[in-house]
Chains A and B, each alone.
Chain A
Amino acid sequence: MNKMFSSRFLAPRAALATAFFMLLGASAAWALEPNEYRQFLGLDSRKLVWFLAQVKLFFGSFVLGVPLFAVIIEYVGWKTGDAKYDKLSYEFTSLLSVAYATTAALGGLFAFALFGLYPTFMSYMNGIFYDVMFFYALLFFAETFTLYLYYYGWGWLSGREPLGKNALWVLRALGIVMLVVTVVFLFGGFGPKMRGDTRMFMALLYMLPVAGGLFIIRDRKSAHIFIGILLNVAGVAIMQAANSWAGFMMSPAGVDKEGVLTGTVWQAFENILATPIAIHRMLGNLAFGGLIAGAYAAVKFIGSKTDEERAHYDWMGYVSNVVAIAALIPLPFAGYYLGREVYSTSAVMGNNMMGGDFSWTFIIQAILVGSLFLISNYYLWTGMTRIPGAQRYYGYIKYILIALVLSFAVWLTPHNLPLSGAEVGQMGGSQYHPTLKFLGLMPAKNAVVNLIILATFFSFLLYRRGNKVDAVSIRAQGMTAKIVIALAGLAAVYLTGQYAVSLLTMKPADLDLSADRAPYFHVVGYLLLAHCAASVVAVVLALKDRGKFAQYMMLAVTAFNVTLFLGPYGFVVMEKASPFLRNVAVSQFMQLIACLILVSAIDVFLFRGAKEIGRLQWGKIPMRSQYALLLLAFIITMNMGLMGFIRSGLRGDWHIFGLMRDTSPWSFTPSNFTMTQMVGLSVLVFMVSISFMFWLGGLAAKGKQAHDGKDTEKPLADSAREVKNV
């Protein structure tokens, strides 16, 4: 192996191993022992750990997020035989390789800081999670070695010659076995007792991808993709292990009130919040990885000297942004689920989150999240300027913008306003504005977040059809189109239908409500049934070549149901049957997802092979679009820091909620200004560091090219000529 190999991977592993032996050397201590705290150079230990944890998490998220979509892009390249996807995937992975070493080194530093500054707390955590920590360290080896193979084996495993028949039979057989094991596991056939979300998380993110990977192997290239899948499995497992500790600190399980482990390590590992945090982080990592890669492309675009370079990096930025939007769309719902589980864990923690110390932090978060969607839309709209024929759809943009701005305004309206005594007097003695106060409540927020997502999705639809002359006949496309659209319709009907049935049969007593509250459930149940009916009609219309109308109808029905109807109706529910409000939110989510699935499926076939007005002119996009990409990366990084502050701060003056008090001098909730200072510093350090690493990576690539005496990567010009609408 070469020098770069050892410097990138071996040194950080040594740091990790040292940290790990520190873990093993720690003695067991229990939660009620007096806490010992230390300082390094007189610095505020909490802020030091906060900073290190945050920067480490930024790197970790990037390292875990990038392989998720690098493998998908490589798969697309393999299936379509289009080399530009393979090259893009390799370029993404090369970013990963330079960031990996720093991530591991930061992990070691973070572990040292924790053990040094919070010895009692860490000793206790080690006492509980000894087994998991051991497993965690081993997973790093799994991730490192799969990354070795994936990155350095790119050329070696690029062949398309089919494997032998016997090998294929063995792989298929293994795939079938793995698939059966996955299904049996998913339905609770084996494994320890666990929550449904954990079981699904493990089945869908560990077992199913491995089963699918075994099925696709037929040549060296697909074997390489399988290694990429294994890399992701190891990465997700690392994340899940670390999340279990964060979850345990918020919702301890498997221990008695003195912190002694009375259950099993699995119970402590699979605490209430572990999986909801993991789901949220998983999507967050994907969006974050996409946007950081997009920022890389933007910087390269800004510094490009030739049209070829601009075309390539424009396309790279676009793909990154699509990946990020795909993850951003379900992210608010994952956040809602996590918030709901926080409430379930502790009403005190939940109330503190939405109505206590962090209520205004959530307003800042609303500004950031709203900006992410708004700027993503802006990027798509500016991207339409490079699509011949997209001018036909410019008229829609102002309406989308109005919907987004109004929704954004509602999204960030606080329930109460911090007013002076005189201002309170002018409002009739109330701190709550007579109208605006309603916009600060959950029904209004739920209504507009759904509209924001629908509007973003609509922008994407317009972008996709920008240069298409007209829709093509679905009837003429053979069975595949019909089957896929019908299956998408079935999925949509299932999503909304099963929830309609559960609402129509739900007993009010289940929610501590009197029997006369049942009609409030039924209204939402019937609305869901109406959405089912709309899905069926949309499928029929699409199969009769009225696909565009079917799409618009689905979007209109969904917008009406989730925003115009359930928005105001949420206030009625809040007044009359408040505990049912969370079910209203779930029904909105189900309809939205059903709509996205069905409309996307129709769209794929509606414009498949459609005549084009002209080819996309990659690289011919206003420079401001690249600043939009950069802004997206900055905002999501700040938002991740802010969310980390909330999640960690919710514990208040507890290291482990309800179990081990934080008795340090830093046991207080910092102000929002302190939060912005700490997060701002972390973001700055992360951006400077990762830019430096990307630059170093670029130097290494240039050096390699010079050493090889040829351009080992495909010329950018080829790529630029090949790229087309994706």
Chain B
Amino acid sequence: MFKAIGKVFGFLLLVLGIFLSIGHAVTSLTGGEKAAAGAVEISPEGGESVYWGKGRCFTCHSMGDRGSAVRGPNHGAFGDKFPLPMGARAVERAKERSAKTGQTYTATDYLVESLAAPGAHIVEGYKNEMAVVYAPPISLNLKEVKAVIAYLQSQGGDVNLDALEKNPSEISNKFFAKIAAAGAAGGGDPGAGEQVFASNCANCHTVKKGEGGGIGPGLAGIAAKGVKFVEDSILRPSKSITPGFETWSVTEKDGRKTVGLKTGESGTEVVITKATGDKVPIAKAEIKEMEQDKDSSVMPDNLNEAMTVKDLQDVLAYMMTLKAE
């Protein structure tokens, strides 16, 4: 039996040797460890390290013959489909964008928009599936996004650090503010957050200034209160109730109990709006007891069950874009 075991382990070592040689050969061909990038400067070199590192741009894009991904457009000059490298191509794409929107886009604006709102102007033949690079798990900060743009500009175009750092255009500034807001919220996609808001919150809240007065307070300018406050308000709505939105509990003489916001009151009746939005007029003469519950909000306290972690991150990022006009 020991002879048999000897043969078997000899065979095992042979197999493992082949396995190791395959691993070695593949690593020689494709490169070694993939470490995350450290802090970067806003420069083509800094952008290059983000592009091929932390930003993971290379998982979908190639740069000419460098890289192998085909899911997104190649950022170098590559075949008939991409005769111009990205820096030069951005100038042409900016012209198309200007014609389409009526606004004047520079090459920098186009690149900024491509990273901040990748679905805005999709290259023909590709899907709207680019990840939001300033949201988890990639979570690039504004500086890193700008560095990537500088790197892309360096591919056959003019690197315009002035437009990235000191004098950004109005278009670029708008997107930079969006990315910064998302960063302040701990990362998240404001675009997706707007949809989450529409599905979960818009029945009770509005985001336009001067609106509101529904079941929940208007949220125009809510970003000024800070992300912690907003997050607490979503997850623990009873913790801090906006004045005027306290919960009232009305018990009628026949025992019926109605809980909600007091949204109307006259000499003869009060109107309670329930969390469902139903308005319930109650004659004062029928009221046995009416009391305010300062410790409880009408807002559901189980929103966390309706939202994933990503939903919450996204909706917080969206809230942080709601600055006072």
Which residues of chain A have C-beta atoms less than 8 A from B65's C-beta? Answer: 421, 424, 429, 431
Contact B12 A430 (CB under 8 A): no
Interface locus among B194-202, B246-254, B281-289, B302-310? B302-310
Inter-subunit contact A347/B129 (CB<8 Å): yes
Asked if A579 lies at the interface with its beta carbon under 8 angstroms from chain B, I say yes
- Out of B23, B54, B231, B305, which one reaches A672, CB within 8 Å? B23
- Which of A253, A418, A667 sits near B309, CB closer than 8 Å? A253
The answer on a CB contact under 8 Å between B15 and A634 is yes
Q: Which residues of B contact A680 (CB under 8 A)?
A: 16, 19-20
Shortest CB distance B38–A (Å): 11
**Choice from B4, B26, B186, B308 contacting A253 with Cβ under 8 Å:** B308
**A669 and B12 form a contact (CB under 8 A):** no
A676 to B16, CA, bound (A): 9
Binary flags per residue of A617-630, CB closer than 8 Å to B gives 1, else 0: 00000000001001
Chain A positions 676-692 with a Cβ under 8 Å from a chain B Cβ: 676-677, 679-680, 683-684, 687-688, 691
Taking the closest CB of chain A, its distance from the CB of B83, in whole angstroms, is 12
Asked if A263 meets B304 with Cβ closer than 8 Å, knowing A355-B71, A677-B20, the reply is yes
**Known contacts A262-B235, A364-B26, A630-B11: A578-B127 contact under CB 8 Å:** yes
Within 8 A of B (CB), among A233-286: 252-258, 262-264, 267
Of the listed residues B68, B127, B138, the one surrounded by the most CB atoms of chain A closer than 10 A to its CB is B68
Question: Would you call B12 and A684 a contact (CB within 8 A)?
Answer: yes
Report whether B137 and A349 are in contact in the complex, using a CB–CB cutoff of 8 Å: yes
| B138 near A348: Cβ-Cβ < 8 Å | yes
| Contact status B8-A630, CB under 8 Å | yes
User: Could you tell me if B26 and A659 are in contact, using CB atoms closer than 8 angstroms?
Assistant: no
Chain B residues near A254 (CB-CB < 8 A): 304
B39 within 8 Å of A by Cβ? no
Tell whether, in the assembled complex, residue B137 and residue A303 are in contact, meaning their CB atoms are under 8 Å apart. Answer: no
Bound CA span A513–B319, Å: 30
> Does residue A458 face the partner (Cβ distance < 8 Å to B)?
no
Q: Contact at A356–B24, with CB atoms within 8 Å? A: no
A residues near B60, Cβ cutoff 8 Å: 351, 355
Query: Is B34 at the interface (CB under 8 A from chain A)?
Result: yes
Q: How far apart are the CA atoms of A192 and B137 in the complex, in Å?
A: 29
Assuming A669-B34, A671-B27, A672-B30, is B59 touching A579 (CB within 8 A)? no
Distance in Å from the Cβ of B276 to the closest Cβ of chain A? Answer: 21
Q: Which residues of B contact A264 (CB under 8 A)?
A: 305
Q: Return chain B residues, CB-CB under 8 Å to A432.
A: 70
Task: Output the nearest chain B residue to A635 by Cβ-Cβ distance.
Answer: B15
Of A430, A669, A671, A691, the most chain B CB neighbours within 10 A belong to A671
**Judging by beta carbons under 8 Å apart, are B26 and A360 in contact?**
yes
Q: Which of A157-165, A334-342, A475-483, A650-658 contacts B (4 or more CB under 8 A)?
A: A650-658
Chain A 48-78 residues near chain B, CB threshold 8 A: none
Q: Is A8 an interface residue (CB 8 A)?
A: no
Q: Is A560 interfacial (CB-CB < 8 Å)?
A: no
Total chain A interface residues with beta-carbon distance under 8 A: 73
Cβ-closest chain B residue relative to A350? B59
Question: On chain B, which size bracket covers the interface?
Answer: 35 or more
Contact B33 A355 (CB under 8 A): no
A638 touches B235 (CB 8 A): no
Cβ contact of A302, chosen from B8, B24, B34, B231, cutoff 8 A: B8
Interface residues of A in 442-471 (CB under 8 A from B): none
Determine if A255 and B309 form an interchain contact, defined as CB atoms under 8 angstroms apart. Answer: yes
Q: How far is the CB of A296 from chain B (nearest CB, A)?
A: 11
Return chain B residues, CB-CB under 8 Å to A382: none
How distant is the Cα of A453 from the Cα of B258 in the complex, in angstroms?
Answer: 64
In the assembled complex, B36 has its CB within 8 A of some CB on chain A: yes
What's the nearest-Cβ distance from chain B to residue A202, in Å?
20
**A348 and B32 contacting across the interface, CB-CB below 8 Å:** no
**B313: CB under 8 A from chain A?**
yes
Is A132 among interface residues, defined by CB-CB distance under 8 A?
Answer: no
Q: Could you tell me if B59 and A355 are in contact, using CB atoms closer than 8 angstroms?
A: yes
**B7 adjacent to chain A (CB < 8 Å):** yes
A267-B305, A348-B56, A680-B16 given as contacts; is B33 within 8 A of A668 (CB)? yes
A631 interface residue (CB < 8 Å to B): yes
Contact indicator A671/B4 (Cβ below 8 Å): no
User: Which B residues are CB-close (under 8 A) to A303?
Assistant: 1, 3-5
Contacts of B79 in A (CB 8 A): 429-430
Knowing A348-B138, A363-B26, A684-B12 touch, does A256 contact B33 (C-beta < 8 A)?
no
Give the distance in Å from the alpha carbon of A357 to the alpha carbon of B54 in the complex. Answer: 12
- B235 surroundings in chain A (CB, below 8 A): 256, 262
B151 within 8 A of A: no
Complex contact B4–A356 (CB within 8 A):
no
Q: Chain B interface (Cβ within 8 Å of chain A)?
A: 1, 3-5, 7-9, 11-13, 15-16, 19-20, 22-24, 26-27, 29-36, 54, 56, 58-60, 62, 65, 68-71, 78-79, 127-129, 131, 136-138, 186-188, 231, 235, 304-305, 308-310, 312-313, 316
Question: 14 A-B residue contacts at CB 8 Å?
Answer: A253-B309, A256-B235, A257-B231, A299-B4, A299-B8, A356-B69, A430-B79, A578-B127, A638-B15, A654-B137, A658-B136, A672-B27, A675-B23, A687-B12
A residues sitting closer than 8 Å to B (CB atoms) are: 252-258, 262-264, 267, 298-299, 302-303, 346-349, 351-352, 355-357, 359-361, 363-364, 367, 415-416, 418, 421, 424, 429-432, 512, 578-579, 627, 630-631, 634-635, 638, 651-654, 657-659, 667-677, 679-680, 683-684, 687-688, 691
